[in-house]
Amino acid sequence: MARQIEGLFFDDIGSFPLPKGVRLPSLSRDQYLKMVRDVLAQKSCAGVEVPTYPQFRDMIRMFMDEIEDPAKAKSPYLIKKEHARIMELEAVPAGEDVRVCVTGPVELYISAFGATHYPDILKTLAKSVSRFLSLALEEGKMSVASLDEPSLGLNSNIVFSEDEILDALQIASAPCLGMDCEVHLHSPLYAEACARVPGISIVGIESAAHPDYLQLIDKKVLEETDSYLRAGIARTDILSMSARLNEQLGTNLWQDMPRLEREILELESPQVMRKRLDKVYAQFGDRLRATGPDCGLGSWPSQDLAGRLLTNCAAAVRSFRQDGA
């Protein structure tokens, strides 16, 4: 069974920069797992309370390669239960647990089939996703689950009806009934619909970069569905942030990394994050369940800078708790 978490918790979305000079194809399995273990420790040291195993691998291929392997498939796009293992969980030390992020069925479907309409295949992929989550739960290392569906509400290649999408999400999240299970979205358009999926208890919104997204979420819907919100309080869109800074400062910060780091961390300070957290709590109160960075940090230039952003986020959460919300 998953460990139950009380109150508001601080987690991260997953991806993280590789160590400088490291290339994935050059690593052995043991070397890769050691790197995953090291980054989990970094996230915990930065103050992340429910760290996600670092997603160094492509979010599509790390699941589709297993699902499409004939030796591991029960039938096309349905992985055998015993093969639905997430390698990164091997790096989680005994007695610890993490946020387990699995790429959602819609995201997997459009990566393989684009703007086509095969509802049976979508359901089959959803069953495969559920098997990854089910086995992770059996391993006893998962305290929070997450379905990663960044294309929902954004990608014009999605031709399924809302009912078909929600049915797939219900199948995928079925093992998570009774525990914290997030859906990570890049658009708020499906947020309230996802809140109605029984297996999804937390809807994740990128509200640091897009505070206006919160205006599209009705607290009453969260209450009626007994679901909660995960609000981002730290921006992770470093390319957009640096482009704006370059324009304001009349320079190219990417040619001066120490200054880039200073400017980004000033822009995303604990004080700024605390203000965002206060604003979200004022709107949603106890329906706010989780917080942290908007998205993953894989595009950031160094592990050190990514870790310092997480440290700032932890400081904001501590300050919020100390003041009693």
Q: Tell me, what's the pLDDT at 5?
A: 57
Q: Specify whether the CB–CB gap between 90 and 29 falls below 8 A.
A: no
Q: What is the pLDDT of residue 180?
A: 96
The CA-based angle 270-275-278, given to 5 degrees, is 120
Residue 214: the pLDDT is 95
Q: Would you say residue 269 lies in a domain?
A: yes
Give the pLDDT of residue 292. 98
- The pLDDT-based confidence of 286 (bands split at 50, 70, 90) is very high
Q: Is residue 260 part of a domain?
A: yes
Task: Tell me the three state secondary structure of residue 249.
Answer: helix
Evaluate whether residue 2 is within a structural domain: no
Give domain status of residue 266, yes or no. yes
Whether 4 maps to a domain, the answer reads no
> Quick one: pLDDT band at residue 324, thresholds 50, 70, 90?
confident
Q: What is the mean pLDDT of the chain?
A: 95
User: How many domains would you assign to the chain?
Assistant: 1
C-alpha torsion 28→31→37→39, nearest 10:
-100
Phi, psi values for residue 114, rounded to 5° = 60, -140
Residues in the chain, overall count: 325
Mean pLDDT, residues 8-32: 95
277, part of any domain? yes
pLDDT tens digits, one per residue of 110-154: 999 999 999 999 999 999 999 999 999 999 999 999 999 999 999
**Within 10 A of 80 (CB to CB), how many other CB atoms are there?**
15
Residue 1's pLDDT band, with cuts at 50, 70 and 90, is very low
- For residue 125, what is the domain's CATH number? 3.20.20.210
Distance of alpha carbon 138 from alpha carbon 85, whole angstroms: 11
By residue range, what is the domain housing residue 259?
9-322
Is residue 90 included in any domain, yes or no?
Answer: yes
Look up the pTM and report it. 0.94
Residue 25 lies in a domain: yes
Looking at residue 94, what is its pLDDT? 87
Whether the predicted pLDDT of 25 surpasses 70: yes
61 pLDDT exceeds 90?
A: yes
